[in-house]
Structure 1
Amino acid sequence: MRHQPFYFTLMGVGLWLAGALPSHASTIVPTPGYAPGIGYEWGVAMSGTDSAIYQGSVGAKSWNEPTNPPDAKGWTHTSDWTAIELTDAATLTVTLARQSGVPFTLPNGTVVIEGDLLTPALSLYAGWETTGPETHTFNPTGNISWASELTYLAHEANPLSLTSITRTFELAAGRYSLVYGGNPSDPTVTGFHGYQATLSTVPLPAAVWLFGSGVTGLAAWARRRTSTIA
């Protein structure tokens, strides 16, 4: 992976969610160090009523490099990976937005400001990859050949080239991996560009989880203690 994130924020939202408790601040850990697997940039622990906001930067084509093979479109070392720990079954909402003014510290200590032309895209996997070792590329739309501990769940490619995307997932308690990257429609966009990620959870009612996820989802949960309703 490229770098240790320069900036992060712990955020507790004092708004009442319909039918739920107030949201609280989650625990955010930059570069949690789950080596020798994926070099996660972030570790986020969340309950069913949490929120998290943090910023970083990724490569312009880090989620989809047009010249890469179909099952290896993403660049592992220029995308950003978040290891999520959900302590409760929850509806997880993820918003990934272009962000200007994101700082980055060079090895010599110089601080530069990253670009602001990101076309955001993201993928979600069940599990954490802690064995690896990672390679330079990954599959953003399916299982990753070298990541045996991850199971692909969903992605948002952002085909309309929006500056902000939002996806909602209904998830069991467990471990998940989110990867953020860039998918520009303009191939001339290069370099690194800033993002802001906003994550929030709402408790998933037991009835929804037991009866709405279906037999397949329950079977997957029994095997991995984690699954999704995309």
Structure 2
Amino acid sequence: MLYEKEQLLLDKQKELIEFRQLVAQTIASQKRIEKQYHEAQKEVKEWQDDVDKAQQEGDIMLVSQALNRQEYYAKAALDLKAYLDEQTVQVETQKRQLIKFESEIIKLEIELEIEEEIRTIQKLRKKSKSSQVGKEEFRQIVAEAIASQKRIEEKYNEAQEDAKKWQRNAQLSFQKGDEALACQALHRKKFYDESVIKLKSNLDEITSLAELLKQVLMERESNL
């Protein structure tokens, strides 16, 4: 089961790299179209100025030529605006998909980390109860328990900060009127809230074990 999850994580991480590249390409395409659109708008204005100038001078031929160019760029600008709107929708859709994809991977990563720490706790409990454990080995068990405690505490604090960050992101998205992005942010916040609960349970357990092991070690050393 663990191997399957680890392999799934590796596969998803590879897919994430590819999807990020796709999003980057879509954004680059959007920016190119936006630039072309603004250039077309600029041409429309410049040719309209030429039309106005030619009309003031009474040059009918020049008016016709400038008007044709103005109409050409006006149509180009209209087409580019429609294409730009399509690309903008696609970019926003892919960004939301990316957030969801990243959430799935982060969730899987934390699940694996929690499972690893649970196995560490179980292993330490089992080893500490063995009557065959010598002084130096027991000290190592205590050191491992303290190290595990610090790792879990760090992950617990990070999960709390991430939950706060996504709460802020959700509020900002709501203020901007982007309900879809706000919902995505709240979804990720919920995931981190759940992770905080799991990590707190692990932290309490390993803290209790570490304190117990330190006490046992002190008693062992005082009896030497």
TM-score range, shorter chain: under 0.3
Q: What TM-score results when the alignment is normalised by the length of structure 2?
A: 0.19
Higher helix share: 2
| Higher Rg of the two aligned structures | 2
More RCO (CA 8 Å, sep 6+): 1
